[in-house]
Amino acid sequence: MSEQSCILTTKDHTILEVMFERCLGQDDPMAALLKEKLDTARVVFGDDISATVATLNSRITFSVDGREPDTRVISHERMQSPVGLFLPLTSLRGLALIGLSEGQLFRFAGQDGVHETIVLESVLYQPEAARREKEALTRMAPPVHSRPTLTLIQGSVRTSGRQASVGPGGFDDPGPSAA
């Protein structure tokens, strides 16, 4: 796999294709990066992608130009959630990271034309891998009964409790103040 190549799920590839079709023209800063991603991508089904590849909605740790690592979730759109939690796919860095494998770097021209080198340090959570794990656990789990089971406790029938008598005003219970 070349340095600039990537692995995309069919879903992620389709999203990038739509983004490329909606570009404002060849002078759009996203157009060149989108074209490069689409041209070098190896497309796989979500069930077949490695858990170490950044996909949409993955929580990742990355660094830019050797600076301190940052952790974000690659999101589809710009989010109004807490600042610093999401990295939109519509940003150059988000686009550069999608499809990268852990340890892989990607070079691209930033907004101001200055080249950046971004490294995917680790994939902390990937939705496709989480779904596969959940399905595997479900297959291994014992079958769940649709009705609750009844457990009889030995000796409970022999215990005689005090019977409450009913008077004209209801139960003959003196209440908590009698205690």
Per the structure, the count of domains in the chain is 1
Q: Which residue range forms the structural domain that includes residue 12?
A: 6-128
Per DSSP, 113 falls in state S
pLDDT band at 85 (very low <50, low <70, confident <90, very high): confident
In a domain, 175, yes or no: no
Whether the CB-CB separation of 108 and 33 falls below 8 Å is answered with yes
Amino acid (1-letter code) at residue 116: E
In a domain, 45, yes or no: yes
The length of the chain is: 179
Tokens of 103: 């340890």
User: Model confidence over 115-166: pLDDT tens digits?
Assistant: 999 999 999 999 999 999 998 888 887 666 666 666 666 655 555 555 555 5
Per-residue pLDDT, 2: 47
Find, among 145, 126, 116, 158, the residue nearest to 50 by Cα: 126
pLDDT, greater one: 135 or 172: 135
Find, among 8, 92, 113, the residue nearest to 53 by Cα: 8
In a domain, 83, yes or no: yes
User: Model confidence over 3-57: pLDDT tens digits?
Assistant: 678 999 999 999 999 999 988 776 777 888 999 999 999 999 999 999 999 999 9
In a domain, 49, yes or no: yes
Q: What is the CATH number of the domain that holds 48?
A: 3.10.50.30
In a domain, 147, yes or no: no
pLDDT beyond 80 at 87: yes
In a domain, 124, yes or no: yes
pLDDT beyond 50 at 78: yes
